[in-house]
A = this chain, B = another copy of it.
Amino acid sequence: MLNEKNVCLGKVRSSIRELFEYGKARKAEIGEDKVFDFSIGNPSVPAPREVNDTIAEILKTYDPVQLHGYTSAQGDYSVRKVLSDYINTRFGTTLNADCLYMTCGAAASLTITLNAILNNGDEVITFAPYFPEYKVFTEHAGGKLIAVDCEEDTFRLDFCKLESSLTAHTKAVIINSPNNPSGVVYSEEDILKLSETLEKYSAKYGNTIYLIADEPYRELVFDKSVKVPYIMNYYSDSIVCYSYSKSLSLPGERIGYIAVNDKMQNFSDVYAGVCGAGRALGFVCAPNLFQQLIKKVYNVTSDISIYKKNRDKLYNALTEYGFKVVKPDGAFYMFVKSPEQDAKAFCERAKNYELLIVAGDDFGCKGYVRISYCVSPEMIERALPAFKKLAESYA
């Protein structure tokens, strides 16, 4: 009688959320500092001081009717102008304000984009491991998510597998780099090859295949040598779904944007589809106060160096204890090979040492676990003996 799909979605708590709730209960039982919760991808570093200072300044100086009023559905023009100029300066693109559409964060960017381009039965490819909500978003928009496994051990793109998954029904490919959960950044070589492949298959089937980059982690890259290629420079039919949730530690405030590549052939239809989908989904406009904030702090980030220190400490320790770890170049996740075949069993055993980590199964990748290191450096320090004992339990 009701919409069974959405009723089920609402009833099934994700296993990450389950684990988080378990952790809360366990902390109450044995003490906050005795439980090591590496389950959730919630930024642990506060928003930079500029965020609260700028909001306070905006509240003092803007006309309140304007400030809290509707913006155009696409977002305030002046905000979009500043952001498109910044993107052009940074990446050498030629976007204008009307290529951007302000959103309530990356999830909204993705649902709006998918609803703009998908028809019932269309296929969307992504690379496993992947953020599980891609499936939810794609299916709501009438599509089917096809997960293509990455290369084992390196978690780079596997082009053989990709080619065998591309069909006449493929409408889009979603990439997420830096990747949740693997932490891998796709190289320029891979993005070039991906672009060539999608061009080839778009031509082969006579259908445009859109490349969607889900970029909440773009700014979370720890070494200068690591570059995150900007897909618009490689592939015309591309759309960037950006969010400030992680870079500015504002995940609860819901602010981001969609950038549609002005180089694509049917740009105006795709952009219109984005506007129409945003309207049909009920977004109206992105929160105005946060639009005005972003206009002023678009090139600031939280103190990313803390995540880098966390990564280095944890990576070095875990490899020393004998774990096989994919060294993450970005985001704040580490993907670790399970010492036994069943990663879920490994996660269960970790609980005996009060370590809360998530099985890769939840991200479409068996045999691995995700460790979120967006936690305090002190917790990592305290957790290391537990990881050591966990490793020894497999010796």
CB–CB A3/B252 < 8 A: no
**Nearest CB on B from A173, distance (A):** 16
Residues of chain B with a CB closer than 8 A to A140's CB? 280-281
> What does DSSP make chain A's interface, helix, strand, loop or mixed?
helix
Which residue on B lies nearest to A5, using beta carbons?
B276
Which residue on B lies nearest to A288, using beta carbons?
B252
Q: Is A275 an interface residue (CB 8 A)?
A: yes
Segment with Cβ contacts to B, from A62-70, A146-154, A330-338: A62-70
Q: Which of A364-386 contact B (CB under 8 A)?
A: none
Decide yes or no: A3 and B251 within 8 Å by CB, A279-B9, A287-B290 being known contacts. no
Q: Is A160 an interface residue (CB 8 A)?
A: no
Q: Is A137 an interface residue (CB 8 A)?
A: yes
CB–CB A273/B55 < 8 A: no
* Number of residues on chain A facing chain B (CB within 8 A): 79
**Chain A residues with a Cβ under 8 A of chain B:** 1-3, 5-11, 42-47, 51-52, 55-56, 59, 63-65, 67-71, 104-105, 107-112, 115-119, 133, 136-137, 139-141, 207-208, 249-254, 266, 269-290
**Nearest CB on B from A12, distance (A):** 8
CB–CB B42/A52 < 8 A: no
Instruction: From the candidates B45, B47, B285, name the one contacting A254 in the complex (CB within 8 A).
Output: B285
**Nearest CB on B from A237, distance (A):** 11
Residues of chain B with a CB closer than 8 A to A276's CB? 3, 5-11
**Assembled-state Cα–Cα distance A159/B83 (Å):** 52
Which residue on B lies nearest to A120, using beta carbons?
B3
Number of copies: 2
CB–CB A52/B59 < 8 A: yes
**Nearest CB on B from A286, distance (A):** 8
The winner among A11, A269, A282 for most chain B CB atoms within 10 A is A282
CB–CB B69/A51 < 8 A: no
Residues of chain B with a CB closer than 8 A to A207's CB? 1
Which residue on B lies nearest to A52, using beta carbons?
B59
CB–CB B56/A10 < 8 A: no
Residues of chain B with a CB closer than 8 A to A105's CB? 284
**Assembled-state Cα–Cα distance A133/B282 (Å):** 9
Decide yes or no: A55 and B55 within 8 Å by CB, A7-B272, A249-B64 being known contacts. yes
Closest 6 CB pairs of A and B: A9-B276, A252-B288, A111-B282, A10-B276, A10-B275, A10-B272
**Assembled-state Cα–Cα distance A207/B2 (Å):** 10
**Assembled-state Cα–Cα distance A56/B60 (Å):** 9
Residues of chain B with a CB closer than 8 A to A273's CB? 2-3, 6-7, 10
Which residue on B lies nearest to A280, using beta carbons?
B140
